[in-house]
Chains A and B, each alone.
Chain A
């Protein structure tokens, strides 16, 4: 009834291939964008910015990067956190060497470093597939974290071995601080939101076009893809490059717009797994899924922490943490068995029902 698509005829291929060919979808996306750009930042508390809004966006972006590689191109990767680290350290070094560089530009450039490293570690994918490739990317994970610890040049030889986001202004925020202790969450939120929106649009375009079909063909049946004229090497390595670029930018945002500081072990396996879980629960091979997955994974512990307390049911923080792990673990098993395509598919089914509602079919 509310989602009736009857009467929406397309008369040109341009209309048929529009981003949101169905009017209700376009309206829904517009509402979400208005909420994100004009409502949330004005009603959010500092707590909401720091525990929900900013991390959800950054985790979504990282999961989006992983999804390009794993969901669209079918190459399993366990090295996401390490590639985030490459982005963060590259951004840190660029701002050290070129202090005049605008931090937003530096963040967008830092993705190219992780893209380069990603392509390098993607080369094994030309010979090996599936779990074996996952192990090869795990090597990237261990090697890069080790490098972040041992290569003192990366953290400017400081005693703590950690990198700190400096106080730095940007023209994109109208000259106010965007990173470091002096930056406000409000500004940082807008910076993260801007970059996330931009990269999401670019990724949607890539995945629905020629390159997206190349990736999906590689994922679904690689030998057939090669026999119809797809250069598998270019297909796989371009997926590694695009994926690592997005992941690298997410890593730079992670440190400069949210955490403020980072030690090498922040980029260790648990972070890789968190992002993989977001992609799986959200839905592999979907753009929307990354956001849904991130909202669930980031939001769940916050809900578990605040809701029982608000209901006068004080839970110990250790208990909440364990409960969170149990629920997330259960959800992953649930989704792998019941709905391997994740939350995005659930939304797809709900949408299908809404289109025909109130009739069963």
Chain B
């Protein structure tokens, strides 16, 4: 079933390609606290990779390492087969890594449309003077990018609120707008930090559907952090389990579910 580079076809017929991103022996310290100690794992093209673990396990820190917000003291991040040099978060984003945030980080003073348009900023090239004059290059670029943004808006079914200011939207919709902003960037790797936190069952179902559709239709590689085990086990192809900054499990949902260390971390150990 598996190719030489490890690519394979899943049961539901999706193609999982070679390794896109590889974390090699990452260690991240805050003062004397080891947020992440010596963790390695990889993310394959086209897969949905979940990172789970109890609170404070270092999951969000790991995501922040991937998106360049934290710089690990030890270890390397490999992206597309090359070690990534140290770079600023905005440079990481320009390499095609988009993300959402645990606590919604939308631009509250802007409309939904403008928020999603900010996702296209890395693709927009016209200079200051072209933009000031507007007619010509800047306008063409604006319209071309608007078309892409509108596709994302259609895809996530937020057409009705496109001109609404973000500040007054309900929580579930905000989460969806944030996903739209990340998708508008047409990322090669999409990082989702607790996309379903604080949602009711219907909203979770919607969000799951969107995540699966994104993966299916655009072939986007997704790494997500989530606490809802049902969601994680259903959505993801492979799961990394972290506890106290250490990796305690890695594999398919079935493997992870059977892992004694994982069971101990979640349910506790009898003394």
Contacts and interface: CB of A to CB of B under 8 A. Distances in A.
Chain B, interface size category, equals 35 or more
Interface stretch (A118-126, A158-166, A220-228, A314-322): A220-228
B118 A217 contact: yes
Given A210-B126, A216-B107, A223-B105, A228 B98 contact: yes
B23 to A, nearest CB: 18
Interface stretch (B28-36, B86-94, B152-160, B213-221): B86-94
Nearest to B166: A220
B106 A221 contact: yes
B146 interface: yes
Given A14-B139, A14-B143, A229-B121, A285 B132 contact: no
B67 A211 contact: no
Interface in B166-187: 181-182, 185
B230 interface: no
B171 to A, nearest CB: 17
A213 B131 contact: no
B105 A216 contact: no
Contacts of A227: 67, 69, 89-90, 93, 99, 101, 105
Contact of B90 (A211, A213, A229, A242): A229
Contact of B131 (A206, A229, A230): A206
Contacts of A232: 90
A224 B100 CA distance: 9
A202 B132 contact: yes
Interface in A240-271: 242
B89 A219 contact: no
B267 interface: no
B9 interface: no
A17 interface: yes
Interface string B72-95: 000000000000000011100110
A213 B138 contact: no
A216 B113 CA distance: 13
Contact of A213 (B98, B118, B133, B143): B118
A209 interface: yes
A354 B128 CA distance: 36
A238 B128 contact: yes
B142 interface: yes
Contact of A209 (B90, B98, B134): B134
Interface string A189-211: 00000000000001101100111
B231 to A, nearest CB: 24
Contacts of B89: 226-227
B119 interface: yes
A329 B2 CA distance: 74
A111 to B, nearest CB: 13
Interface string B251-270: 00000000000000000000
B90, B126, B182 interface centre (most CB from chain A within 10 Å)? B90
B199 interface: no
A311 B141 CA distance: 58
A91 to B, nearest CB: 21
A225 B131 CA distance: 20
B105 A224 contact: yes
Interface in A65-107: none
Nearest to A208: B134
A203 B128 CA distance: 11
B94 A229 contact: yes
Contacts of A216: 107, 109-110, 114
Given A209-B142, A216-B114, A228-B93, 9 more contacts: A13-B146, A17-B143, A209-B131, A210-B121, A219-B107, A220-B110, A224-B106, A228-B121, A230-B90
25 contacts: A13-B147, A14-B143, A202-B132, A202-B133, A205-B131, A206-B132, A209-B138, A210-B124, A211-B128, A211-B131, A213-B118, A214-B118, A217-B110, A219-B107, A223-B69, A225-B107, A226-B89, A227-B69, A227-B90, A227-B99, A227-B101, A227-B105, A228-B93, A229-B121, A231-B88
Interface of B: 67, 69, 88-90, 93-94, 98-99, 101, 105-110, 114, 117-119, 121-122, 124, 126, 128, 131-134, 138-139, 141-143, 146-147, 150, 181-182, 185
